[in-house]
Every structure is written in structure tokens, then in C-alpha cells.
Structure 1
Amino acid sequence: MTAYLLLGCRAVIAVVFAGSALTKFRARRDFASALRVMAVLPPRLTGAATVGVPVAEAALALLVWVPEPVSTWAFAATGGLIALFSAVLVRLLRQGADVSCSCFGASGVPVSKAHVVRNLVLIAVAAAGLAASTAPGPGGLGPAGVAVVLLVAGFASALIIATDTLVELFSAAR
């Protein structure tokens, strides 16, 4: 059972972080602009963060697949990075800032509690991956179980990545 949990956590983190990194690399100017508008970093660090954040995300998307102890550290770093992102979102919400997070590319959807909830889900996935990566004797994986886990992980990843679209859809329905 632990092996399936580990596989699912690896898949979700890899898909979400690779997607996030890719969109930030493709829309570097938009990401840099969002960082400037958020004013969470000194202006001189914006350029470094514009490159460093997606590089870190891409590295973590790969490192969760490396055997222990690397994957253990990757899950811990993933949780820490998402916690940092969450702190920024909470700060922006408390300030009443009307900015988008640009987590998955350019977006016109302002930061909301849904973004914080999304990050809490990702922290839970990273924590579960951390626990599963250190559990003794994960056991074998059967093909049917792998297919189900990857299907569920793909669906969960799509929902996580589509947070802005879902927020926009459900807020427009009111």
C-alpha cells in the first residue's frame, strides 16, 4: 500500500511542479511582473526569483523520483517551498491585494482562499510522500494498481493546476 501512496505523491508533485515550472519559464516576463506587483521581494531579487523558482520547481519534480534519501529530502523541500508560497498568498489576502498568483502562468484571477486551500492540499501530498518514502519495505506494485494510482494522480493534478479556472468558473456562477 505504501508503494502506491509513494507513486501517487510522486506523480502529483511531478506533474504540478513541472507544469508550474514550464509555464513560468514560458511566461518569464509575466511571472516577473507578478512578483513586482506582489512586492514580496526586494526589486533587486525579482530577476533571480524569476529564474530560481521555476528551476527549483523543475528540480523537485525530478528529484521526488530518485530513490531515498534524495526523494525524502525532495518531498521535505517541496513541502517547505509550498509553505513559503502559502505564506505569500496569506499575506496578500490579508493586505487585500488584488493580484493574481501566476502560479501556472499569466492569470487574471485574483489570489483567493482557494489558492491557499490548493497549497494546503499540496503540502499534504508532500507530507504523505515524505512519510511513504521513509516507510520500511514499500512492497511491490501491480500493473492494475499502478494504472489506478496514475489515473487518480493525473485527475488530482489537473484539478490542482486548474485552480484559477475553477475559481473563475464558480465565482462567475454567482
Structure 2
Amino acid sequence: MTAYLLLGCRAVIAVVFARSAWAKLRARRDFRSALRAMAVLPPRLTGAAAAAVPLAEALLALLVWVPAPVASWAFAATGGLITLFAAVLVRLLRQGADVSCPCFGASGVPVSRAHVARNLVLLGVAAAGLAAAAAPDPGGGPGAAGAAVVLLAAGFLSALIIATDTLIELFSTAR
């Protein structure tokens, strides 16, 4: 069972973080501008953060696939990064800031509780991945059929996470 959980958590973190990193790298100026608009960093650090965040996300997307203990550290670091992102979102909500979340590229959807909820789901995935990666290895990996089901479920969850802004727009009552 642990092998299936670990596979699913690895897949979700890898897909979500790789997609996030790719979007930020593809639209570097937009990401840097969004960070400036959020005003959560001193202006002189915005450029460095705009470069470091997508690189950290890409690196973590790869490192969760490395065997223990590296995977454990990668899941822990992933959890830390997600916690940081959630804290920024909560701060922006408390300030009433009217900014969008550049998590998966440029967006016109203002930061909302749905973004925080998305990060809490991701934090849960990272925590489950950490627990599975740190658990004793019972030997033998997941079977092919089970792995296919887990990867399908992970793909579905990843797509929902990535599509948060689209889902917010779709189900928004303010039209």
C-alpha cells in the first residue's frame, strides 16, 4: 500500500510543480510583475525570487523521484515551499489585496480562499509523500494495474489543482 501512496504523491507533486515551474519560466516578466504587485518582498529581492521559485519547483519535481532519503527531504522541502505559498496567500487575503495568483502563469483571477485550499491539498499530498517515503520499504513495487490506477488518479488530481483559476471562474457567482 505504501508503494502506491508514494507513487501517487510523487506523480502529483512532479506534475503540479513541473507545470508551475514551466509557466513561470515561460512568462518570467509576468511572474516578476505579479510578485511586485503582491508586495510581499522588498523590491530588490523580486528578481531573485522570480528566478529562484521556478528553479526550486523544477528541482523538487525531479527530486521526489529519487529513492530515500532524498525523496523524504524533497517532500519535506516541498511542504515547506507550499506552506510559504499558502502563508503569502493568507496574508494577501487578510490585506484585501486585489492581485491574481501567478502560480500557473498569468491569471486575471484574484487570490481567494480557493487558492489557499488548493495549497492545503498540495500540503497534504506532500505530507503523505513524506510519510510514505520515510516508511520502511516492504520490498516490491506496485503492480502494473495498480500503478496505472494510481497514476490516473494522480493525473486527475493534478489537473484539478492546475485548473484552480479556471474552476474559480467557472463557478464564480460574481458575473
What's the TM-score bracket when you normalise by the shorter of the two chains?
over 0.9
State how 1:67-86 maps to structure 2 within 5 Å.
67-86=67-86
Q: Distance in 2 between matches of 1:57 and 1:80?
A: 12
Partner of 1:154: 155
Give the structure 2 partner of residue 105 of structure 1. 105
Report what 2:125 is aligned to: 125
Q: What amino acid maps onto 2:151 in structure 1?
A: L
Q: Could you tell me which runs of 5 or more consecutive residues in structure 1 were left unpaired when the two chains were aligned.
A: none
Question: Per the alignment, in what secondary structure is the counterpart of residue 73 of structure 2?
Answer: helix
Q: TM-score, normalised by structure 1?
A: 0.98
Paired with 1:48 and 1:42, the residues of 2 have a C-alpha distance of 11
What is the identity, as a one-letter code, of the residue corresponding to 2:137?
G
- Residue 76 of structure 1 aligns to which amino acid in structure 2? A
Aligned residue identity for 1:33: S
Q: Counterparts of 1:146 and 1:108 in 2: how far apart (Å)?
A: 37
Q: Could you tell me which residue of structure 1 aligns to residue 146 of structure 2?
A: 145
AA aligned opposite 1:110: P
Judging changes above 3 Å, is the alpha-carbon distance between structure 1 residues 113 and 131 closer, same or farther for their aligned structure 2 residues?
Answer: same
Q: Equivalents in 2 of 1:169, 1:38: separation in Å?
A: 24
- Per-residue deviation, 1:137: 2.1
Instruction: Count matched residues.
Output: 174
Instruction: Give the drift of 1:168.
Output: 0.7
Amino acid aligned to 2:20: S
Q: Using the aligned pairs only, state the percent identity.
A: 82
RMSD between superposed Cα atoms in Å:
1.0
Partner of 2:165: 164
Structure 2 alignment gaps of length 5 or more: none
Please tell me whether residue 11 in structure 1 is matched to residue 24 in structure 2.
no
Structure 2 counterpart of 1:25, which letter? Answer: L
Alpha-carbon displacement from aligned partner over 1:28-83 (angstroms, at most 9, x marks no partner): 01000000000000000011011100000000000000000100000000000000
Look up the match of 2:31: 31
Q: Give the AA of the match of 1:91.
A: R
Give the CA deviation at 1:138: 4.0
Offset of 1:101 from its aligned partner?
1.0
1:172 Cα deviation from its structure 2 partner: 4.8
Distance 2:137 2:103 in 1: 36
d(CA) in 1 for partners of 2:131, 2:102: 30
Decide whether aligned partners of structure 1 residues 136 and 17 sit closer, same or farther in structure 2, where only a CA change above 3 A counts: same
Displacement, 1:141?
1.1
State how far apart, in whole Å, the 1-side matches of 2:46 and 2:161 are: 25
In the alignment, the residues of structure 2 paired with residue 125 and residue 15 of structure 1 have an alpha-carbon distance, to the nearest angstrom, of: 12
